[in-house]
A and B are shown apart, each in its own frame.
Chain A
Amino acid sequence: MDEFAALIDALVYTRSRNEKLRLIAEYLRATPDPDRGWALAALADGLDFPAVKSSTIRNLLKDRVDPVLWTLSRDFVGDTAETASLLWPAPGNEPDPPGVSETVELLSALTRKSVLTGLPKLLDRLDASGRYALLKLATGGMRIGVSSRLAKTAFAQAFAVSVDQVEEYWHGLEPPYDPLFAWAAHGQAPPDIENLPTFRPFMLAHPLEDTVVDLADYAAEWKWDGIRVQLVRAGEETRVYSRSGDDISVTFPELLDVLPFPAVLDGELLVRGSTQGGEEGGAASFNALQQRLGRKTVSKKMLTEFPAFVRLYDALLIEGEDVREQPWTARRSRLEALMARLPDSHFDISSVVEARDFGHLAEIREGSREDAIEGLMLKRKDSPYIAGRRVGYWYKWKRDPLLIDCVLMYAQRGSGKRSSFFSDYTFGCWNGDPDKGADLLPVGKAYSGFTDEELKKIDRHVRQNTINRYGPVRETEKTLVFEVAFDSVHESKRHKSGLAMRFPRIHRIRWDKPAHEADRIEALRALIRD
């Protein structure tokens, strides 16, 4: 664990991407199997130990440290694992750090009951850095500024193999990835994934921003407001993967026996309805889809009320043939030809938006607000299907966000890079005329959209204008106006205001605007398009 802990610490303090790659690659080369496989899994995807939760750590600490002192410390440090690693009482014995594999083995064997004695025993064998690494490892996400892609790139760099190949094999393998190391580090045959329904990394788009493209080179499609999915059929099994590569097959059982041939297809998962694209388009708003997301079991009622289907964008593999190298136009024709073999009940194809020129397309996009479509996609006609986000191939051209003026009501400290700063804001709109004594009702929360300099200023505002404290939450004077940008607003029973915004973020900070001039609830309600 010592070397792993040193790696984690070094990564925490390193900004440069190349230096991070070098550090990880060096560790992967110098560390024996299977330790390095587990470490790679922890960095790339995070490991899952169901018995160890953030609350487990909290409870263990509250048995050893005064609860008030724990809370004050946690609030200041901004990270449970780090706080715990610093507060853990120094054991009497010399450190006796376990290896990474031994640690993983011990953590996997823990149950909800044995974790209360097992985890302390492990913590007692480590120093503060080791405890931090252990707790990060045990609770999943490391959050140390290393993306899954970066870890895989470092692996590729360590053993001089192609990162695209690593991506390809990755999703067919389980930690500690023995076949991957056997191939890359020991020169053996590559892992066999042909008959496995594994995930292929998505091709992603850049925001268009100020770019203007020529429609002779680019095709336009609607950007549907559902969730991007990959449907994979191989070896008689179909799986549904989310954008991050999570297997969400159990949530959408109706899609598991409708793809009649082996293929890897890219599309938007939607629920039947009429909000998007009118009656003909046949898709409901994202709000309806949300009823289906995140469920481990799906009732019959759910299946009938919110039937899911896939609106196809692209094809990656068709009956064993890899078409990713072919240009978009060729893949599109192959996809169109496939439609006859796919049941209408669960598939349609995302139609191409015809426009005379870019200006005409811009007009069409303007009109898309009414249809609750997210905007447009622009795809270069000769683009191959490439994992990740490559400049110049695909663009997303979202419609402009909706805006509303809200008043800051509550603030909470952030975590990670923003620990100790008040960076999470709850804001509200007036429930009537503020000059006649109306109150503010919370309508949303935002954590983003401001610069570091602005964050410092808002943080100071919160500290100087606190009127109440509820644990970690500060209630502030109702004086600061935020112009909030959001994608859409929906009815919601979860909030007192009866409204929920989608993707709210701070658009501008209106230091100049008096709070009573902020918007009222009715103004926000008027923007509902469901």
Chain B
Amino acid sequence: MAAAPFSWINPEPHGIHIAPADCWVDPSRPVDKALVTHGHADHARGGHGQTVATPETLAIMELRYATRDGATPVEYGETIRLPGGVDATYIPAGHVLGSAQILLEHAGERVIVTGDYKRRHDPTCPPFEATPCDIFITEATFGLPVFCHPPIEEEMQKLLERLAAHPDRCVLVGAYALGKAQRVIAELRRAGHTDPIYLHGAMEKMCRLYEEHGVDLGELRLVSDADKDEMRGHIVVCPPGALNDRWSRRLPDPITAMASGWMRIRQRARQRNVELPLVISDHADWGELTRTIEEVDASENWITHGREDALLRWCQLHQRRARALALVGYEDEDD
């Protein structure tokens, strides 16, 4: 007797479980075997017996959690066979360096777990590839129609104009240490900004890792090695948590900026004391989410972490089958 359709894949509170292989996608607690979509802390945790991920994601995890044991690299486009007759293929997700969607195939059924993704250009990682499947498990971090990320060129322009208008001050950009910071720096270079950019110490290693993977970030200097005056008229990048921290006292009269999709909402920016909000996100905005659901055209959509309610409603209005998964441990990161 054939098993019920898709009975082999089960969303559990702590991750998505693939029964025949007894293995988990992005589990939020240690398991024997984990498939990891990308290196952000709410998806990639240390302590698994075996971790299957792209080489870039494995390098990031090694840097962050010193997890070397059981690392199994999979290249983009490569398929590996898991126990129980399950095939897993890693496909670019366009979120951060090394980020992948994972296509799972079993008994002729195809399921994609996106992890996090975006559809915009990003000089630090290959673009998202829309891939046909039966069940599409999508994130919904910015799953409200108010979220519409402007073109990044506009935001870079805003940043550079403000910098030029205040040659005696510096612009301090809060950006998530993995992905956002490097993307912002790479985009500044693309916009023709060749001056040295100053880094908070916590970002240095990740930037070096990006450079080792072929992302050119130009001249980077550490704030801790610089004197106050040399940073006037320059851009400083730090993790969001350091924006209003005592650490920033060493900077020359900083203008506080933050690169995040949440900056679209004025009060969110105010809550963080941000003077220069930069609407830059590594997640799909509402338009990208809905367009992707249409393009992938799965017979069913499962919606995870974020504002599931609204995306669920959209699916209902557009006669697309959908359900919300209650996964724990995914947070509104400072994206």
Contact = CB atoms under 8 A, between A and B. Distances in A.
Of B267, B268, B270, B274, the most chain A CB neighbours within 10 A belong to: B267
Given A13-B276, A13-B277, A15-B273, A73 B267 contact: no
Given A13-B276, A76-B146, A69 B310 contact: yes
Interface stretch (A80-88, A315-323, A510-518): A80-88
B228 to A, nearest CB: 20
Interface in A1-22: 9, 12-15
B265 interface: yes
Interface stretch (A178-186, A367-375, A416-424, A476-484): A416-424
B309 A72 contact: yes
Interface in B254-311: 264-271, 273-277, 307, 309-310
A524 B314 CA distance: 48
Given A14-B275, A78-B267, A419-B267, A68 B146 contact: no
Contacts of A76: 144, 146, 265, 307
A315 B145 CA distance: 57
B317 interface: yes
Interface in A92-135: 132
A132 B268 CA distance: 16
Contacts of B121: none
A82 B144 CA distance: 14
A150 interface: no
Interface string B135-149: 000000000111010
B250 interface: no
A183 to B, nearest CB: 33
A77 interface: yes
A79 interface: yes
Contacts, number: 64
A140 B248 CA distance: 38
A65 interface: yes
A338 to B, nearest CB: 49
A342 to B, nearest CB: 49
Given A14-B275, A87-B146, A69 B314 contact: yes
B205 interface: no
B317 A77 contact: no
B313 interface: yes
B275 A13 contact: yes
A317 B52 CA distance: 83
Nearest to A452: B271
B328 to A, nearest CB: 12
A77 B265 contact: yes
Interface in B18-44: none
A14 B307 CA distance: 29
Contacts of B265: 76-77, 82, 419
A417 B267 contact: yes
A66 interface: yes
A420 B268 contact: yes
Contacts of B145: 65, 69, 73, 86-87
Contacts of B310: 68-69, 72-73
A419 B146 CA distance: 15
Of B146, B264, B270, B276, the most chain A CB neighbours within 10 A belong to: B146
A305 to B, nearest CB: 45
Contacts of B317: 66
Contacts of B266: 9, 12-13, 79, 82, 132
B248 to A, nearest CB: 14
A78 B251 CA distance: 34
A339 B4 CA distance: 93
A78 B276 CA distance: 21
Nearest to A8: B266
Interface in A265-296: none
Contact of B267 (A14, A68, A416): A416
A87 to B, nearest CB: 6
A88 B145 CA distance: 10
Interface string B142-181: 0011101000000000000000000000000000000000
B275 A72 contact: no
Contact of A73 (B146, B269, B275): B146
Nearest to B150: A128
Interface string A57-76: 00000000110110011001
A86 B148 contact: yes
Contact of A66 (B146, B267, B277, B313): B313
A66 B313 CA distance: 9
Contacts of B277: 13
A434 B148 CA distance: 50
Given A13-B276, A77-B146, A86-B146, A69 B267 contact: no
B187 to A, nearest CB: 22
Interface string A403-446: 00000000000001101100000000000000000000000000
A153 B26 CA distance: 56
B161 to A, nearest CB: 12
Interface in A335-360: none
Contacts of A65: 145
B270 A72 contact: no
Contacts of A66: 313-314, 317
Contacts of A82: 265-267
A263 B103 CA distance: 83
B226 to A, nearest CB: 25
A455 to B, nearest CB: 11
Contacts of B273: 15
Contact of A417 (B144, B270, B313): B270
Of A13, A68, A77, A420, the most chain B CB neighbours within 10 A belong to: A13
Contacts of A73: 144-146, 310
A72 B271 contact: no
Contacts of A77: 146, 265, 267
A76 B273 CA distance: 19
A12 B270 CA distance: 7
Contacts of A15: 273, 275
A73 B142 CA distance: 11
Of B144, B271, B274, the most chain A CB neighbours within 10 A belong to: B144
Given A13-B270, A13-B276, A87-B145, A69 B264 contact: no
A13 B274 CA distance: 6
Contact of B271 (A68, A79, A83, A417): A417
A198 to B, nearest CB: 35
Nearest to A414: B267
Complex A-B, nearest 6 residue pairs according to Cβ-Cβ distance, in ascending order: A86-B146, A419-B267, A72-B310, A73-B146, A68-B313, A13-B275
Given A76-B307, A419-B267, 6 more contacts: A12-B270, A72-B307, A76-B146, A78-B267, A416-B267, A417-B267
23 contacts: A9-B266, A12-B270, A13-B266, A13-B274, A13-B275, A13-B277, A14-B275, A66-B313, A66-B317, A68-B310, A69-B144, A69-B313, A69-B314, A72-B309, A72-B310, A77-B265, A79-B266, A79-B267, A82-B267, A86-B145, A416-B267, A417-B270, A420-B268
Interface of B: 144-146, 148, 264-271, 273-277, 307, 309-310, 313-314, 317
Interface of A: 9, 12-15, 65-66, 68-69, 72-73, 76-79, 82-83, 86-87, 132, 416-417, 419-420
